[in-house]
Structure 1
Amino acid sequence: MNTETIIKFYESIKDDLKFHSISSVRVKIMISLNEEPMKTKDLRKLIGIQSSTIIHGIKELEKQNLVSRRGDYYYLSETGKIMALKLIDIIRTLITLKNFEKLWLNHEIDSIPNYLLNDIGYLSNLELVESEKIDIFRPHGAYMQVILRSKKIKGVSPIFYPDYVNNFKNMIENGISVELILTSTILRKTIGSIDPNDLAYLTKVLSEETLKIWEIEEEVKVAFTITDKFTVLGLFFLNGSYDSTKLLIGDHDDAIIWSNRLFEYYRGKANKFIL
């Protein structure tokens, strides 16, 4: 859909946008009713607003056919349900942008496809781990804690750390499944850093698919890892250098789902590597 069409759409629904954005009471009512039908007293207890204000807000929502009443209970209509879900998505998106502003500003986001940027609110429950003056390697340490406690690891890496090879070897020997998508540059550097005596071992684990590696030729400006319990995400500065001072880390299901979708996006662009 082109920009001209979107602007025309906006002109036709701008009053509806004002209706939903101008009243925090109406927004809170719709979000609350998204969980289940409620009585006025239930809404009062949940959102902490007096009954007369809630009733006024409900009447306004009823006029827009977003809420209906059955007995003592208020329900979202079919369109109200859809609108409530979009309001929740907008709130989660804004929280993700606000809480992690240091990560987004002046960082490369073009390596994240638009359909996943559209769902960026899935990351709202993560934590931003940053370097500190007395602990500049804090993000890397947090990352290592995550992967060393995992049973399954998938990741996309356009960056290289010398200790990764030994760490992943130890994990594979301990029965941990590892799947990696590496850029061509990082793959060559990784293979070159392996002791010749270990190349036979690498060939073995690749043939057994204990370790799976895909090579991607295009330039990638996002680094992330998904485990059975956690997801970790890092970005590049706009100047092309990787920002090792900040990582998004967390164990929320939505964030793991989002990261797995990003992994599948890149796996679809990569080729299976066989030594």
Structure 2
Amino acid sequence: MSTKFNEEYFQDFQEDIKFLINSDIRLEILGYLYNSSASIKEIEERTNFSYSSILDNINKLEQRKFIFSIDDKFYLYNKTKLKLTNILYFNKTTNFLRDNSDFLNQSLIDINIDTIKDLSALEGSKLIESNNIDLFKPTEIFQDSLMGFKFLKGIFPYFHPNHYDIISYWIDNDCTVELILPDAVSEAVKNFIKDYLPKSPAIKNKHVKLKPNDSNIQFAFTVSDKCLVLAFYTKNGQFNQNAVITSTNQEAINFGLKLFEEYEKLCGDYVSLDYIIYPDGRGKNY
């Protein structure tokens, strides 16, 4: 794609945004027509705008090739739906970047993962930072995200200092957990699970899975059925334990699931953690 084409497209995109956001009526008309066609009368009943205002904006939308009519019914062009999707994505991404600009400017986000580019999914998320009153708030947020869920997926450059309570919770509650960890951390978690299981005879670990990976872990996150918690390295190469982004929105959770799935494909195999205790006390790996 040429630079000229990019510039022209961006200019048109800017003009479309200006044209639409200058009128609530236009946005409501397009929103109403997004899923179904309608007459002016039907739009009037739905939106409570006056007939004359709707007619005026319908004409402007037709002139700008956003909509067309057939037998007094108005429809969106397919390209209009694409424009609206792009504008929504652009606005949501801009909102997230604006709201978290200081944190993001200090963070290393040079990550070759397609999903991480879709920051629009994180609009409305909360940035939790440590402060003089609560130095460990981000760490507590991470710990909370590691317990009380139906499933959990995550990537960590280290493991939480309160690992005993966390891992024992997973085993005792038969949790479904998939983690990508540096080799040494993965080995430590694996050994803890094997040491813990004999305390509960005849328990087999069915649901905790680990993937050792020492390369290119430039962020940490957990995603579960309840929330997403995300943290980054700083630009000087140190992991930032003092700030996390968290969200309970389903769009953010879906973002986390896609992020894990994409990163998972870059790693090796899961290690075997199945370990069952027989009545005579003998243990066996699977």
Corresponding residue of 2:130: 131
2:165 and 2:83 mapped to 1: Cα distance? 50
Corresponding residue of 1:41: 44
Q: Which of residues 208, 215, 239 is equivalent to 1:242?
A: 239
Output aligned runs, 1:116-127, within 5 Å: 116-127=115-126
- Closer/same/farther in 2, CA of residues 195 and 65 from structure 1, 3 Å limit: closer
Cα drift, residue 225 of structure 1:
0.6
- Closer/same/farther in 2, CA of residues 103 and 43 from structure 1, 3 Å limit: farther
1:230 and 1:89 mapped to 2: Cα distance? 21
1:164 and 1:62 mapped to 2: Cα distance? 61
- What is the DSSP-based 3-state SS (H/G/I as helix, E as strand, rest coil) of the residue aligned with 1:166? helix
1:175 and 1:198 mapped to 2: Cα distance? 13
Cα drift, residue 161 of structure 1:
2.3
1:54 and 1:106 mapped to 2: Cα distance? 47
Aligned residues: 264
Tell me, yes or no, if structure 1 residue 21 matches structure 2 residue 20: no
Task: State the Cα RMSD in Å.
Answer: 3.1
Tell me, yes or no, if structure 1 residue 222 matches structure 2 residue 225: no
- Closer/same/farther in 2, CA of residues 14 and 108 from structure 1, 3 Å limit: closer
Which amino acid in the other structure matches residue 8 of structure 1?
K
Cα drift, residue 274 of structure 1:
3.1
Corresponding residue of 2:95: 95
Q: Which has the higher helix share?
A: 1
- Closer/same/farther in 2, CA of residues 43 and 83 from structure 1, 3 Å limit: farther
Cα drift, residue 34 of structure 1:
2.9
Corresponding residue of 1:260: 257
Which amino acid in the other structure matches residue 122 of structure 2?
L
Cα drift, residue 142 of structure 1:
2.5
Contact 2:17–2:87 (CA under 8 A) maintained in structure 1: no
- Closer/same/farther in 2, CA of residues 244 and 191 from structure 1, 3 Å limit: same
Cα drift, residue 73 of structure 1:
5.6
Contact 1:40–1:55 (CA under 8 A) maintained in structure 2: no
- Closer/same/farther in 2, CA of residues 31 and 136 from structure 1, 3 Å limit: farther
- Closer/same/farther in 2, CA of residues 22 and 52 from structure 1, 3 Å limit: farther
Corresponding residue of 2:5: 9
Structure having the higher Rg: 2
- Closer/same/farther in 2, CA of residues 257 and 201 from structure 1, 3 Å limit: farther
Cα drift, residue 201 of structure 1:
7.5
Mind listing any 5+ residue stretches in structure 2 that lack a counterpart?
274-286
Contact 1:103–1:235 (CA under 8 A) maintained in structure 2: no
Identity %: 23
Output aligned runs, 1:103-252, within 5 Å: 103-111=103-111, 113=113, 115-188=114-187, 190=189, 194=192, 197-198=195-196, 208-252=205-249
